[in-house]
A and B are shown apart, each in its own frame.
Chain A
Amino acid sequence: MSDYNKPLPVIEKWNEPYWQAAKRHEFVAQRCPACGYIHLPPGPVCTNCLGPDQVWVQLSGKGSIYSYGIYHQQWHPGFADDIPYNVALIDLDEGLQIVSQVVDCENDALGCGLRVEVTFDDVTPEITLPKFRLVGTKQA
């Protein structure tokens, strides 16, 4: 049994394929067959054209840090040992922006515009969280 005590994603009808893919270490989003729009969070129709029957596609997992914050306050006991920890807004190359964390680096190494790529954190036997790590060097 896991002693993981952070909040876990709530799996529901629309996001279940996203979390199933993450468990397979795949990073996916919904794509509209009608207009090609790629979007998250998942829903029943395309948020661009209302087209039905959204399909799941692989993302490149590459992007850049749009911005980030360093959390010094404990709002959940599961994060007590992580403080200060970062939360980052990631601009994915496919045009989406998601909330995640940048791992395997000191908070001081973070910067807006830095390139990142997805990495997978198997936090429980059932749940894997897509996170990001820095790649390359700091952009001007």
Chain B
Amino acid sequence: MGLQELSDTVCIVGVGDTKQGAVPDKTGDELAIEAARAALEDCGLKKDDIDGLFVQPSYGRQGDYLKVGLMLGLNPRVGGAVEASGATGCYMIQHAALLLNAGMANYILLVYGTNQKTNRNRFGGALLEEHAPYGAFNPSGPFAFAFRRHMHLYGTTEEQLATIAINQRAHAGLNPKAVQQTPITLDDYMSARYIVEPLRLFDYCYITDGGHAFILTTADRATDLKKPPVYIRGMGRQEAFRAYETPDLVMQSFQQEAVAEMVFDMAGCTPQDMQALYVQDAYSPAVIAALENYGFCPRGESGRWIQDGRIALGGELPLNVNGGQLSETYMVGWQNTCDAVRQLRGECGARQIKAVERLMCTYTGGLREHAGALILRS
């Protein structure tokens, strides 16, 4: 069976989330379970319908799938953890699609919960042990290197990069779930302090507590449930375990180009067919990389391409209309998938993309080791 035959065979039928931001009275596991209950309520399934459970571990030793499974009272046929950092949520959906197609499970629950804000996880560690002596702490360094390189090669400017943060903050203002809703101007952006120059404060995701959950089933089972199914039209992924060895991986070109080839081939469509794009944006240069590597704009031109409202709600390619991780919430990509499903159901109120039927979500994990994408349709 080829990947194309799996197109549209599996659906996301339930999504659930919790309060985002600071949730100091709950552990990561409690938030995961609260999100799972919300996802069950969303699709109308009962706990005992669930025969697959996958849990993303979170910082502070939360998200042990055995513990979460015990707390949920589940003995699923298939279950466990998937560990791919920021691409985990994407990879879990892909694994679920394969398991559901193989008949090893009928209804798979995916959950993630974290209290990394309350726990003050600062992401202050070095990328690799051998980088610590040189002060290369925090995962943002490679994104700063990448953007600096982009500036050098293509003349991209910090003012152009600012558009991403400003645009997503404007979107977040239309999203009651978003933790950062105050609009920012170019002056606000440019006067904010550098963290790893050329990146400034607003180029960084905003660490939050919260939980998310999804329920997936086969297309034939999906039509009986409470909400309209959202179909998985395309899936792609590419690992780069040699990321620390291979030169010139900062913009992820070979890796994301490989993901693009797989996901568009499976979906039978092109970047120009997408009506919206969600990029997992731990740092804003992730958007620059995705737009070019997935073929939304020519190599080197993203700085200019994103101007003049093109990536705003109502523009040619609305991008992270939830606010993304820069402004909505930092749920390692889960928040984007959740918003994508709600957009395709038409549930998004003031930030609803008109007549949206097909969109794409891209994800990266670790420093660049993991990359994946989903094309979803209503």
A69-B137 contact, Cβ under 8 Å, with A7-B132, A47-B242, A112-B152: no
Q: A9 within 8 Å of B by Cβ?
A: yes
Closest B residue to A73 using CB positions: B195
A6-B242 contact, Cβ under 8 Å, with A67-B250, A75-B138, A111-B152: no
| Contact across chains for B196 and A70 when beta carbons are under 8 A apart | yes
Chain A residues 41 to 85 lying within 8 A of chain B, measured CB to CB, are 41, 47, 66-73, 75-76, 79, 82, 84-85
Closest B residue to A95 using CB positions: B247
Interface string of B118-144 (1 = CB under 8 A from A): 000010101111111111111001001
Q: B244 within 8 Å of A by Cβ?
A: yes
Contact of A72 among B124, B153, B193 (CB under 8 A): B193
Q: B146 within 8 Å of A by Cβ?
A: yes
Q: A87 within 8 Å of B by Cβ?
A: yes
Complex interface: chain B residues within 8 A of A91 (CB) = 247
| Contact across chains for A71 and B196 when beta carbons are under 8 A apart | yes
Complex interface: chain B residues within 8 A of A15 (CB) = 130
Interface class of chain A by DSSP: loop
Contact of A101 among B124, B126, B134, B244 (CB under 8 A): B134
| Contact across chains for A69 and B141 when beta carbons are under 8 A apart | yes
A72-B197 contact, Cβ under 8 Å, with A41-B130, A91-B247: yes
Shortest CB-to-CB span from A63 to chain B, Å, is 11
Complex interface: chain B residues within 8 A of A95 (CB) = 247
Interface string of B11-40 (1 = CB under 8 A from A): 000000000000000000000000000000
Q: A129 within 8 Å of B by Cβ?
A: yes
Closest B residue to A7 using CB positions: B132
Complex interface: chain B residues within 8 A of A76 (CB) = 124, 132, 135, 137
| Contact across chains for B247 and A96 when beta carbons are under 8 A apart | yes
Shortest CB-to-CB span from A109 to chain B, Å, is 14
| Contact across chains for A41 and B141 when beta carbons are under 8 A apart | no
Closest B residue to A12 using CB positions: B129
Q: A34 within 8 Å of B by Cβ?
A: no
Give complex CA distance A39, B246 in Å: 9
Give complex CA distance A69, B132 in Å: 15
Give complex CA distance A75, B134 in Å: 12
Give complex CA distance A10, B132 in Å: 10
Q: A35 within 8 Å of B by Cβ?
A: no
Task: Report A's interface with B, CB cutoff 8 A.
Answer: 6-10, 15, 39-41, 47, 66-73, 75-76, 79, 82, 84-85, 87, 89, 91, 95-97, 99-101, 111-113, 123, 127, 129, 131
Interface CB pairs A-B, < 8 A, 10 = A6-B133, A9-B132, A10-B130, A66-B248, A66-B250, A73-B138, A82-B135, A111-B152, A112-B149, A129-B133
Closest 9 A/B residue pairs (Cβ): A69-B144, A75-B137, A112-B152, A7-B132, A70-B197, A97-B247, A67-B145, A67-B149, A75-B124
